[in-house]
Amino acid sequence: MRTYSLDDVYETRKRRDSWWTVYFVDPVACRVALPVANRTKITPNGLTVFSLVLGAVSALCFATNHLIAGAVVFYLSFMIDCVDGKIARLKGTGTPFGLWLDYVGDRVRVVLCAGGLAYGQYALTSDVNYILLGAAVAVLDLFRYVNAPQMKRVREAVREERGERGPEPDEEHTEPLERVPHAEPLERMSHIDSLERVPLAERTRRPRSFPRRLNRFLARHRVRSHLISGIEFHAAVFVVAPLAGAWALIPLAALAGVLLLVNEIFLVYRMWRFTRRHGVASSQESREHVLV
What is the C-alpha end-to-end distance of the chain, expressed in Å?
Answer: 44
Res 227: pLDDT: 81
Closest CA to 140 of 51, 229, 54, 246: 229
Res 157: pLDDT: 84
> pTM of the entire structure?
0.80
- 251 Cβ partners below 8 Å, 6+ apart? none
- 10-residue averages of pLDDT along the chain (292 residues): 90 93 96 95 95 98 97 98 94 90 93 97 96 95 87 84 54 36 39 45 60 90 88 96 96 95 90 79 51 50
